[in-house]
Structure 1
């Protein structure tokens, strides 16, 4: 039985969407047990009797306005910190939260703790692509570390490659370094040094530098970068996909009769194609480099998105990926 701690008060739609996502996960997987941390009265009003769910009352909540490290140190009775502590103590094996990203990353680092010999953990989302053959890729790091040293990106590549192998089932993940050109000599002093490290790393399949414009083509399985660049790339991709969908919808609705009829004819196919870019189906972002799985769900997660984050946590536990990473770095 996989035991997963849930921050039931984190996120824009908590606790209703969180509870609904949990109930959906319990209905689909008979090998998970969920411990929900949050206001007991609020949670009990949303949950009927269920043998594989428990509620642990936490009187405090980490808000979106809280300073991350201060919140972790001062709000020890918050749903987020208590859930993380339960993982550290071995009561649960993983944590899922849609709450304050910075505070959750701080909880992973300060409460759960890093794997031995890992310099800094990295935040790893799975991003949908437009390739039918390679419909997704890993972006590592996507915001945990704004400033990085070469060793960080080197370790990010190894961690994400192991995740791709063990969790996503890709035998030899193609690892690329995001740069301002594909030539080996391109880039900053950081990327030049990282290029040399990755090129000599035998545990990964490094294919060289890649440009951000090619990410959605399925050119790599793992795209490595620093957290500042990764976060900018991720937000650009998310924003472009959402705004393009709105633009296309406005164009079809505001056109002439011929345009509107054409829109109706392609509506189902278009919906299916745009659904390929729906990042909520991927789950959440994983903080790789800590001792236990930590999944950061979208702050705006609805029930389906949170269900997928729990599904992802279960997959990570089932795969044994964290143990494999730990063994490599030890």
Structure 2
């Protein structure tokens, strides 16, 4: 197994990414290798400072970096020797089994769609993110920002992919799917949710629990919460602010501590032909480590093949 990591992506790269790679290496078996994409001249001093043997990693030298504020499509096309572009090229060619970056989110989405492309039958790949539950465990929110505008059939596919991902990556048996809405009743909502509800209700491949409201995000009513990416991204950013606020207020609570993004590493793009994970721009070494370990889990569980089987059938 070869796990690709963009060591130039993120606000604290390359130091945070390299330190995260070192930490992740301790949790990998002998047949699991990290391939680092970036400027090796910047990597080497960090490894030396940690007394870490550089031979434990493989390296792909790149000379360009896609900045956080750059236009995703233009950057992917114009910066062919960037760490993100080269990483996706090697993923497409099968030289690595997964690719992760804490860099430009848009570039990661565009790169995934241009290189490994969407799984046949998947209309819109989506971003999944973790939502902690009040009484332990956690659920998944799909979509968290890839698709601002959606059709009902997109949300149905998000539910299918989210259910498979929760079952095989997080061992949640028969995950309950909830449709984010402004009321519990079947007839509530806008045109999108009203049209989506009957499609989810009659789909035998998911365990549909009905509509859920914002107050149900953190309870046990649903394991998978589906919504359009605009709504999902607002929910995600609001949830992330909880942890930051508790730190600012000096408030210590086990539940709110679980909103710390570092624990989950990154958000996978569900529905493309290879494991691709997007990390938070402010990813720390701990977050990078967990992003790498999530990449490993996605490869080991063959989750992409399970998506392909579901949609090709």
State whether TM-score is above 0.5: yes
Contact 1:162 / 1:325 at 8 angstroms: preserved in 2?
Answer: yes
Q: Which residue of 1 aligns with 2:40?
A: 40
| Runs of 4+ more than 6 Å apart | none
Does 1:92 pair with 2:96? yes
Q: Which residue of 1 aligns with 2:258?
A: 276
Q: Residues 217 and 274 from structure 1, CA distance in 2 versus in 1: closer, same or farther, beyond 3 angstroms?
A: same
Contact 2:183 / 2:212 at 8 angstroms: preserved in 1?
Answer: yes
Deviation at 1:49, TM superposition (A): 2.8
Contact 1:184 / 1:192 at 8 angstroms: preserved in 2?
Answer: yes
Does 1:125 pair with 2:134? no
Matched residue count: 307
**Rounded Cα–Cα distance in structure 2 between residues aligned with 1:22 and 1:41:** 16
**Rounded Cα–Cα distance in structure 1 between residues aligned with 2:167 and 2:82:** 35
**Rounded Cα–Cα distance in structure 2 between residues aligned with 1:176 and 1:87:** 33
Q: Which residue of 2 aligns with 1:59?
A: 63
Deviation at 1:5, TM superposition (A): 0.9
SS at match of 1:138: strand
Q: Which residue of 1 aligns with 2:234?
A: 232
Superposed CA offset, 1:195-228 (max 9, x none): 1111111111010000011101232110000000
Superposed CA offset, 1:71-117 (max 9, x none): 11111110011111111100001001000111111111111211001
**Rounded Cα–Cα distance in structure 2 between residues aligned with 1:148 and 1:236:** 21
Q: How does 1:78-227 map to 2 (within 5 A)?
A: 78-132=82-136, 135-227=137-229
**Rounded Cα–Cα distance in structure 2 between residues aligned with 1:92 and 1:128:** 31
Deviation at 1:17, TM superposition (A): 0.7
Contact 1:32 / 1:52 at 8 angstroms: preserved in 2?
Answer: no
Q: Which residue of 1 aligns with 2:78?
A: 74
Larger radius of gyration: 1
Does 1:323 pair with 2:302? no
Deviation at 1:56, TM superposition (A): 0.9
Deviation at 1:245, TM superposition (A): 3.9
SS at match of 2:274: coil
**Rounded Cα–Cα distance in structure 2 between residues aligned with 1:3 and 1:290:** 18
**Rounded Cα–Cα distance in structure 2 between residues aligned with 1:231 and 1:275:** 20
Q: Residues 274 and 229 from structure 1, CA distance in 2 versus in 1: closer, same or farther, beyond 3 angstroms?
A: closer
Q: Which residue of 2 aligns with 1:297?
A: 279
Does 1:3 pair with 2:7? no
Q: TM-score, normalised by structure 2?
A: 0.95
Q: TM-score, normalised by structure 1?
A: 0.90
SS at match of 2:135: coil
Contact 1:178 / 1:223 at 8 angstroms: preserved in 2?
Answer: yes
Contact 1:108 / 1:294 at 8 angstroms: preserved in 2?
Answer: yes
Q: Which runs of 5+ in 2 are unaligned?
A: none
**Rounded Cα–Cα distance in structure 1 between residues aligned with 2:8 and 2:250:** 36
SS at match of 1:277: coil
Q: Which residue of 2 aligns with 1:14?
A: 13
Contact 2:131 / 2:217 at 8 angstroms: preserved in 1?
Answer: no
Q: Residues 243 and 312 from structure 1, CA distance in 2 versus in 1: closer, same or farther, beyond 3 angstroms?
A: same
Deviation at 1:178, TM superposition (A): 0.2
Q: Residues 243 and 17 from structure 1, CA distance in 2 versus in 1: closer, same or farther, beyond 3 angstroms?
A: same
SS at match of 1:56: strand
Q: Which residue of 2 aligns with 1:261?
A: none
